[in-house]
Amino acid sequence: MRSLILNNIINTRRNLNLVLQHVKILREGQAYSTSVPLLPDPAALKILPENDIKEFNSYYPIVRNDIVTNKLVSDIPKLNERLERMLDYNAKEGRKLRPYLMIATYKYFTNEEDRTPENIRLMNILGWFIELMNAAYVMQDDIVDNSETRRGKPTWFKCKDVGINAVFDASLIESTCIQLLKTHFSAHKNYNKMLDAFLEMLRMTRVGFVVEAATVFDEFSEDLYYVIAQHKMGYYLLQFTTTLGTLLANKEDLMICQKAGRVFNELGCLYTIQVSQNCHLILF
């Protein structure tokens, strides 16, 4: 477990010690202090080698096509056009941290002979479902935060012909990915658990959205901050992605390891503090 965090998330033993210092500060209720060096920005970490990234990106047109032309929506040209436009606008240019973490986890838990062309194909498709769900998450997060721009262009809901309909665009992406998961993975021994991880991610991030959206500034407390960080970051960035990686690799250890969940929550909280202090957008 420590080793997985070391290799795929934090990268060096020095950083793990740093994490533990931060966790200690946080749990002892001390005021957060910059006297302890910041954790490395996960967006700046090299999670995957260039070749894997290139391969992953080559699957985007395949998965987009799958979503836009799947038989359930293929007779509604208006919907196909809109799906194509919203995916290109929102999903292509993300940082792709979550699929990379899932892929790194999958590779960590498998041997060369497990990684058949078919398994690599499934791994990349699963990665894109994670990334498309994240595009939907980001579209909604921008609404909660009333953000004007993202990645140098207007946020989707600020586009003049979108507005509040961004909400339904986002939930259509989510629903379609959830149903297409079945198409590709229903034969996988861990399919039910993979589906459950997606559904639990949706619930956890909704808890984060609702608590954040319903909190007015003067009520804000450290406890609420922790709840939001735990749901929107600890679970979603770390536990969700590594759980899917282990499930795809036919390993279940990580998911049932409660200690891992606690470590991820602490890490999520720390990253949230850091990105709040630096740049809010850095992790998406």
Q: Which residues bind a second copy (CB under 8 A)?
A: 72-73, 76, 78-79, 82, 140, 143-144, 164-165, 167-169, 171-172, 175-176, 178-179, 182, 192, 195-196, 199-200, 202-203, 206-207, 209-211, 213-215, 219, 224, 227
Residue 31 C-beta: closest distance to a second copy, Å: 23
Between CA 140 and CA 146 the distance in angstroms is 10
Q: Which is nearer to a second copy, 107 or 231 (CB)?
A: 231
Q: How far is the CB of 157 from a second copy (least distance, A)?
A: 9
Name the minimum Å distance from CB 220 to a second copy: 11
- Residue 178 neighbours by CB distance under 10 Å: 15
Name which of 20 and 210 has its Cβ closer to a second copy: 210
**Of residues 140 and 190, the one with the C-beta less far from a second copy:** 140
**Residue 71 CB, nearest approach to a second copy (Å):** 13
Concatenated DSSP letters of 176-221: HHHHHHHHHHTTSTTHHHHHHHHHHHHHHHHHHHHHHHH--GGG--
Beta-sheet strands, E only, within the chain: 149-150, 153-154
Tokens representing residue 185 in the block: 């993975």
For the CB of residue 147, give the shortest distance to a second copy in the complex, in Å.
13
Six-digit token pair at 113? 């002979």
**Tokens representing residue 243 in the block:** 């759980």
Q: Rounded to the nearest whole angstrom, what is the least distance from the CB of residue 210 to a second copy in the complex?
A: 5
Decide: 58 and 92 in contact? Cβ < 8 Å.
Answer: no
CA atoms of 7 and 108, how far apart (whole Å): 9
* Amino acid at residue number 171: S
User: Of 164 and 187, which CB lies nearer to a second copy in the complex structure?
Assistant: 164
Residue with Cβ nearer a second copy (37 or 163): 163
- Residue closest to 48 by CA, chosen among 90, 111, 105, 123: 105
The first and second tokens of residue 87, run together, are 């995916």
> Which C-beta is closer to a second copy: that of 49 or that of 163?
163
